Amino acid sequence: MTTEAWTPHAMLAPAAICVGVAALLLRPFAGPGALAVMAGVGLLGILTPAPLSPPASRGRVAAAAAVGVGAFALARMLHGGAHAEVSLATLVPPAVAAVAGDDLIGLATFHIAGSDCELVTLEAFRQWQGVGTSLMAAIARFARRRGCERLWLVTGNDNLDALRFYQRRGLRLVAVHRGAVDQARQIKPAIPLVGEHGIEIHDELELELRLG
């Protein structure tokens, strides 16, 4: 298993197509400005596909991009309000992929702002094989090379599996944003009240790994 870092340019074609599809799916929840940008990005992905390496994995990359970019876009819309404007730079974050042969087995997206590296999404398509651990390590290496001082993320208070996973990999709980999900639910009523393990979702938990 190897990990590969993909820049926004390399991810543009598959991600943009998926963003166009996401525009249709998210139409009831997004404002007209956001939908216009997403549809335009989708058209760009269809008209100007960028080469990827390895070529045999292109279909798998597109599927994975749908997971990562779609979740990223939805998160930005939830935090930005019902009529949030979404830019191309926001919709196509850098990513790290885990590859086994020609198979894409994991994908993580992240966002660097100043000395902070935010883990936005992490998807392991093969469970219990160290895929998530490899992705985390690859992002930490990338972030250190970019001069970042910390790797951080937020997760819901119901996500016990994620809390276990990240704490076992050295991340520490640094903040509890009480009522953050409740506030988001006022804007997006579709956010469920009950999450994993039957736990009511009210708060966001912030975890970080110091990279210094």
Which tens digits make up the pLDDT trace of 186-206? 999 999 999 999 999 999 999
Q: What does the domain layout of the chain look like in residue ranges?
A: 2-148, 149-212
Q: 149-212 is classed in which CATH architecture?
A: 3-Layer(aba) Sandwich (3.40)
Residue environment code for 75-89, b if the CB has 16+ CB neighbours within 10 A, otherwise e: ebbbebeeebebebe
Q: Are the C-beta atoms of residues 29 and 80 closer than 8 Å to each other?
A: no
pLDDT digits (tens, 9 = 90+) for 113-155: 999 999 999 999 988 899 999 999 999 999 999 999 999 999 9
CB-facing half-sphere around the CA of 191: CA atoms within 13 A: 20
pLDDT digits (tens, 9 = 90+) for 10-66: 444 445 445 554 554 444 444 544 444 444 444 444 333 333 333 334 444 444 555
For residue 36, the Cα-to-chain-centroid distance in whole angstroms is 21
Integer angstrom CA distances of residue 29 from 80, 91, 128, 179, 196: 12, 16, 35, 21, 23
pLDDT class of 166 with cuts at 50, 70, 90: very high
